[in-house]
Structure 1
Amino acid sequence: MRPQLGSLTLKEVTIDKNDHAEGIIEFTGSLLEVPEDIGTVTIPVVRGSGTFGRVSAFYSVQNVTAMPDGVDYILTDGEVVFLDGQSEAYIRATIINDQIKEFSETFSVTLTDPQGGAILGSNITEVIAISKSDGPDGLIGFAAADLRRIIENPANSRDLSFSIELSGGTDEYLTGTEVRWHILGPNSEDVLMETDDIATPDGRLQGSVTFEPQTRGFMRFTLQVRPYFGPEVQEIYKVDIYQVVGAGEVVRDRKSTELTILKHGDPNGIIQFDESSVQPKSFDEPNDGSSPTSVSFRVERKEGAVGDIQVTWEVRDMANNIVTTDVNPTNGTLDFSSGTALGDIQLSILPDSEPELEESFQLILVSSQGGADINSQLNVARFSVRPNDDPHGVFSVLDGDQQVLVGDELNRFLRIQILREGGTLGSVQVNFGLNYNDGVTGAYVPTRGTVTCRDGGATCSKDIGFLNNDVFLERGTTFTVNLTSVSYIGSGVTIEPIIDRGRSSAVLRVPQAAANSKVGFLLSDIEIMEDNYQVMLTVSRIGAYGDVDVNWEAGYPSGSVPSGFTEGIITPRSGQVRFTNGQSRRTVTVGLTPMGIQEVFALHISSIQSPSGVSARLDDDRSIIEIAPSGLISFSQSSRDVQAQESEGEVTLTIQRQLGAQGLIRVNYQTTSGSAIPGEDYIEISGGSVTLSDDQQSGTIIVRLLAENNPELAKTFYVNITSVQRLDDNQAPEPLLSTLYSVAMVTIEANNDPFGIFSISPVLVETTESEGTCKLVEMTITRSGGMFGDVSLMVRTVGGGEPWESDIITQSTNETNTIGSALITSQGKLKASSGSDYEELQETLIFRANEDTDVFRLSVCDDNEPEPDEHFYVYLTVISGGARVAGSGDSGLQGYAEVIILGNDNYNGIIGFSVDSLFVSVSEDVSPTVTLILDRGDAYFEGVVVRISVYCQMSIDSSFCVHSLEYIYLYRYLYRGISCDIMPVGFPGTKHMQ
């Protein structure tokens, strides 16, 4: 059998963190020296090894010789933080720059307490040294007058004197100083080792001056500039203080002096254009989209060619402005190396889409560096660029630019706008033709016209008035403008303006504002106020030119009422609306008085006139408007908000058809869930419909309800009328859907006691009095059924004289298992007394949602009085939150309980013979009957049977004894005492006394 793999085939191996994954934090160095005027010093802190996670380290600052808190520096203890992946951070300190003469001062920063898993490296302390400042032991530098000197190249040797100054400081620190200098150059920072041009009179290229202790002032030395022996280039030398032996601080900006010896002759050359380049040239502009044209201009270096030089050049127009287009580049430099005499400036003539006339340019040699001079007679090369586009324009017309307009005096005109693309140079005359496409040519506007497009203008326009302003123009009719020719106004044109043949004609469409009116009702715009049958209708006109009065009347024109119907009542019966110029719509409001389903409601336009004299017409297709002839569909008033019990099994809603009832229509509807859930509380309907036949005014919708036994709150769902439509071939308007009453809300009422049935347990409590005190009897209120919502109720005692007892009996009904019925049936029982037998209770309890039980306590008190059983009740009342108190039909649950305080304190008395009957003498001869009195004290609440046994105690002289005689006596309820007669007889017997 082959071996197989077991279930444990995968083992996870964790490689522990290693190699200081979070990093090692330390400074980069141990000493950082900065000048006093640095402002802010940045102290770098590095994180070596790993850079995982966020780590940090605290740092502390220690004063050494520098003073903190803004005296010499500002830095306090803090924390330096490295984010995940960060390897370098910084601590920043502010160095205070003052005018106090100070030697070098120091403070230190130490890293401590790393966080986040990092550790500290070996270099955890860095010393920051603030350099000596403000010359406490003197300031040393060249005299200000010697810092920069320029001299001509001498024909004979020339001596130059230089001064080094020592100033400032305090005497105790001026201990004597030797200041050493040397010469750098020429034209470099190199130490000069040998030269024939400059040295001390004795030929040295370096030297020194000495200041004695406590000495300030100037010390001088001399350099000798030797004569030229031929053409020489310009040379720049520096005399530099390179060392101070002794006290003193060198001022940085006076550490060296610069000496310039100007050139002699033209050793670096004279720069100019060659003969061919200074001749004017002309180039063609490249076509748009093609490559630039390269052109070259030769520059020559005359006389001398010593040294490297650089020549700066620019391209300018003839007005001497810097060029920004057409040529590239427009400035630059041309370099000549030592010994080179010729060079070329390369330019590119650029293509562009900007129409232009011929343009002229200047290529100018502006300046040179390196010692060469510019020949001002031959430093300009001129050239021009010939155009290749349309500088005077390409002319066209566009539909969107043309307009038919109305003037202030109701005069109508055409505005022709011509587009000028390409160039806009010079003035051009444009000729065009006009044509009205929906009438007789020439009867409306002139057939031709002309317009001048001025120099620089990108568009030009002209207004063309109508030949006859009274013509009837319908909205949407058109004119056409055609460009026929263009011509340049002036002479010297090289490229003629042209017409864009693809856009040489355009259409002008008559707009609403300029069109004559065709008046009618807006058939799709009817607004019915369903609460009062006020109807708003819209009269509109196609074309809003001029003022127009429209007269309307209620009903149909004579003889056109639909067969089988009568005209409904409309108020008012007629009216007029006025359209002012430019106004397109007016509203008419009427009231309807529906009387029956065989009515129809309509308005029609009876006449039109214009107070301004313009022509207007009636639109026959819109001269009559019918108001909801197929009906206004809505839910009936009783079906808009319906309450139903789920046990009813269904809910029926009524759809009504108001105003009109013409035609066969279909009403589509659907259910929409609210808090009720389809499939659990009702049967969902997604595509229901009701068909109403011609003249049918109402229909019904039935929605099935689903019942269940669980307590539930009230739930809602909706029935929406989604659409209505005609089903026959009648051309009448579609039925209207109510905007107010197209939704019915159905509420399935709360059922199965969702808020709970409240009862008390136990329903019978028997208790005894306590020994001289009050005792608490605990009872439970139980909430059965539903547990929804918060419910408050009151628990009270009754039966012991409470003030509300009479109200309960007065309001009692024939229902059983109520506190009222219990009080009535208990009238023969002995009642406990509130205040003495128990404490009156009136307490409000609150049950929160889902809380099903609570307890209350009755206080039963001992009054030390003999009493039989006493009765009182505790009951639930004043309940809120939708809950109810248990009653008949609730499976034995009760909203009240009976409390019995059992008899106490020997309530039936202590029975015995009275004092007079304890010892009685009787004569058997004279009166053989003995009367004995029994006494039960003050407690005599119930009937008691007392058995008396008579026995004989023998005496010496007794002649006989009666044995075992028994008498039974009955105490009736509330009897305290009873007497009995005993007569000895010869046999046992029983005597009953009533």
Structure 2
Amino acid sequence: MLLLVVLLSQIAILLAQNAQVSFLETAISVGEFDDSSFTLRVQKTGRSDTSITILVDPTEGIVNDFRVPYNQFIEFSAGDAVETIETTWYILNDDIPEDDEVFTFELSVLSGAGQVTVSQGISRVTIESNDDAYGIIGFSSVGPLVISEDPFEGTIINVTCSRERGAFSSVSATFEIIGIELTDGSGPDDILPSSGSVVFKNNQSESILSLRIIPDQIPENEETFEIRLLEATDGAKLDGSLSKITVKILKNDSPLRFAQAFYLYEEDAGTALITVNRGLAEDGVTQLGPDDETVTVGYFMGSSSGTLGLDAVASNGTLTFLPREYTKTITITILSDNIPEIGEDFEIILANSSSNAVIAEPSVAVLTILGNDDQNGVLFLKDSSLYVTTGEDTGVNTNFIVERFGGTFGDVSINYEIVRNDSNTDDISNDLIPSEGVVYFSEGQTSSEINITFIDDNIPEEAERYIVRILPSTVTGGASVRAPTEGQLLLVDSDDVYGVIQFSSDIDQSIAASESPRKLKLTLTRGGGLIGDILVNVTVTYELPDEEESTIRIEDILDIASETTVFPQDLSIHRFSINIQNDAYLSVNAVFKATIQEVDLLNYDTILPPSSPRIGVKDVVSLEVSPAEANGDVGFDQNSLKLEVEEPEEDALTVCILNNNFFFKF
């Protein structure tokens, strides 16, 4: 046993002393294209006493994928130096679609076997997929595919998609459908699905995209759709020149409809003409759907509120439209009975069209034979509502009365509106509501009101003029309209728009005795609005103290006893003065009393006689003459003055008293 262990140890030592060769690259990926190549490096480590020859050889055939040489010999020198030798291999670009290919290269010792061991002798080289190995996807043509829509079952469209070049692996391409030319506003939902994927299995070079045209029985002109390939997956590519294909759906479902839904005829008209259109849109002008075939449709007449045989003759039948014939007329006989009646209705119904056409809306026409003798009434504004004058400051709303004359059958209504009739451009809703509405009459009702509410906004405003009118074009229920249809609404000025004139506070009034000439200085204020110049008339009186009697006239004191001044617009304060005569004597405690007598607008036109300007509460102001302002009194400041003096023996005694700037000598 001991001998065996020793022997194995010796073998291990010998092996450890041998040289080793190995691939430095064990896995390489490379693409296939012109001049493509790769390098495999082989390295020797350890000691060898002799040179070593190594064969680098693929384990499978490479003739179809590589250029010569197909194997290579390398030789390492004797010794213990580390040595690396490169081998270069050249790939054959064959323009053949191929999936990934893996080749195995192996190291074999040709000489010096006892001197070397192979430690890493396998290297795998992958030539990546090439030459569109997974295919180029596109439609088999660019179209257009021309399809007729089955009105009941729908139509299946099979669109062929091809996969050129390689067909390795499973791949797919996404698609979407868009409408590129739609004359009737329809969309890609006419074809389903509108998006999805085209799938190719491994080795499959053709795939069918199945789409379904939805039968909608809606009249349509020719529609053009486009199917677009958006993106290929799993290594496949798109063929840019074949990534789109157009699909045309021909005109379909030729429409049959009445030209209008309602027809009104007087009872004495004799006949009613009801028009049916084929191949036309609702506007009666635009062509819609196919028109190159003969189509038929039946019509039937029924009673709604009228009586067949008494009011109209029943009419049923079939209409035939030849190719490119678009209009037919149904003639109905109206019977006149000379009996006052309300309107009578009949229905004409389209049904049973041929399979190459569809019945569209309106498919029912209502024929109304109008009532006679104004059975639903005649509407007009009552005379008392033709001129209404009011104001927002009154706090009273107003109304206009609409009368219903003649018959009162049925419920009727008429719209009204209120519009300005002056130069004011403010929103009407700032002054009154509503500015429009509907007047309703129930059956049997002979009058109804337009109620108007005024907005009391505390904003000074001038008089405003409005027109209240009922609108004949909006009348309903078979009623008619006659004059008068308009009334005048006059809204007087509000919130003292031209002002309230009064004296300002007493401290703003004064007697200017030190000025020359002397004068009364008066100040007025203007509340409310500031529109227009105001002519203000002020009178002044002069009153002596109660204990004095005098025959002094105001004309002896002031230059003018009644002053007229202009209070300019846009100002809230106005000052003016009245001159005191130069030779006038003013007494202490005498009083000037100024009174506002009258205020008027000056040269300003108004729609209505205005309620302002007016005189305010403080219309009188009194100015008392102080001692400093008086110049007409001579006397003492006191009723008595006691002076004690001694009687002189020889000469006279002189006494001087100075009182209020006057000198007295005795």
Name which one, 1 or 2, has greater alpha-carbon Rg.
1
What range is the shorter-chain TM-score in? 0.3 to 0.5
What is the TM-score when the length of structure 2 is the normalising length? Answer: 0.39
